[in-house]
Amino acid sequence: MTRPFEGIRVIDVTHVLAGPFAAYQLAVLGADVIKVEHPDEPDQSRGAGTDKALNRRNMGTSFLTQASNKRSITLDLKTEGDRAVLKKLVATADVFVENYRPGALEALGLGYEALAAVNPRLIYASFSAFGHTGPRREQTAYDHVIQATSGIMAMTGTEDVHPIKFGAPAIDYATGMTGAFALASALFQRERTGRGQRIDMAMLDVAMILMSSHLAGYLRNGVHPKPHGNKHPHATNSAYPTKSGMVMLGASNLRQQRRLWTALERPDMIKRTNDERDEDRDREAAVLAEIMLTRTADEWEEFFQARHVPAARVRTMGEALADPQIASRGVVHRHAGATEVDGGFGVPLAAFTFAHGGPRIDTPPPQLGEHNAEIRAELGFIDEAIRDVGT
């Protein structure tokens, strides 16, 4: 069954995380994604990850994460000849994604206006830290710097230990997912209008959207979101130590908190309103802290879930991946191997499934420049393709 983006060509001139991750979303849904890298200065994610041997081979796990289904060509965009190759690629493409510093590609004659002249139907997406407008447009940043800039880091941590950075680069990944949504929307729009589009994606903007309810609350009353650690404003919606491990309770609404206290045989603790829950939070927390110590986290998870009360033992990455639920959903794809990668490895696929024609991985992540000859031949550079094969 045809996948959504089969027949769509994406030129991926991005590096590190947010941009490559956005292009990856289209790749697993059938797009022909051609990754463009400098021959001497490849995507820095190729040298990053948990396997140092792979890092030295330019196939680090950070790169493997988001490079399946892509083809790789090396171009030095500071040379006229390679810029000509890129423009020829653009003429065949539907989408162009880049995350250079704002203004850098324009200086090379590869900005939106120049490439739209080559291909008026082109969707040109730029990813950057702060966007292509505004007083901070030329500043650079990574995920953790945006966490600091946006205010999201200040609200993370405990009352005593804060600010704290997220454990995962969530803003980068959210920017990639948001960017993929923007690209898909622009492609859908083009089907109706026939016109290309210019997309300006900023990590800071995404970070603000990730805090939407906190942002709206601050705009209403001027109260800064405070770090609460594992404590939620409602005691029945917080984490507690147990006989073994920690359990996160998720009795968020009034109906769920009624179920929780009923299951614990403490009907005297049931509240009728959230205001009552707020006023009695400290007492509720003390009661729960004592009760939770009577069983293990695994036992409490089974106990509460059987009674339709959200709860879970706090797990490590390894424990989470060992959960049969993950395997049943197909979130992870296993590769038997790849060029310069000895043995099998796993990568994330997608966070959703389709009944038909859904996300799928067909080819492993490419070695740097692995498809130079193939892509150049497709563009008609026969002599150069032969030369590349010879080298």
**What's the pLDDT score for residue 285?**
98
Give the domains, in start order, of the chain with CATH numbers.
9-210+331-390 (3.40.50.10540), 235-314 (3.30.1540.10)
**What's the pLDDT score for residue 207?**
98
**What's the pLDDT score for residue 381?**
87
Q: How far is it, in rounded angstroms, from Cα 304 to Cα 288?
A: 13
Which residues on adjacent β-strands are paired with residue 293? none
Between helix 143-150 and helix 170-193 the angle, nearest 10°, is 90
**What's the pLDDT score for residue 384?**
53
* 3-class secondary structure, 93: coil
**What's the pLDDT score for residue 383?**
58
pTM of the model: 0.94
Question: Is the separation of the CB atoms in 55 and 27 below 8 Å?
Answer: no
**What's the pLDDT score for residue 389?**
41
Amino acid at 245: G
Q: How far is it, in rounded angstroms, from Cα 90 to Cα 383?
A: 20
Question: Tens of pLDDT along the chain (391 residues)?
Answer: 699 999 999 999 999 999 999 999 999 999 999 999 999 999 999 999 999 999 999 999 999 999 999 999 999 999 999 999 999 999 999 999 999 999 999 999 999 999 999 999 999 999 999 999 999 999 999 999 999 999 999 999 999 999 999 999 999 999 999 999 999 999 999 999 999 999 999 999 999 999 999 999 999 999 999 999 999 999 999 999 999 999 999 999 999 999 999 999 999 999 999 999 999 999 999 999 999 999 999 999 999 999 999 999 999 999 999 999 999 999 999 999 999 999 999 999 999 999 999 999 999 999 999 999 999 999 998 655 444 543 3
Q: How far is it, in rounded angstroms, from Cα 227 to Cα 209?
A: 18
Burial of 26 per CB tally in 10 Å (0-12, 13-18, 19+)? buried
Q: How far is it, in rounded angstroms, from Cα 360 to Cα 30?
A: 8
Catalytic residue among 12, 172, 323, 388: 172
How distant is the alpha carbon of residue 51 from its chain centre? Answer: 21
* 3-class secondary structure, 247: strand
**282 in catalytic set:** no
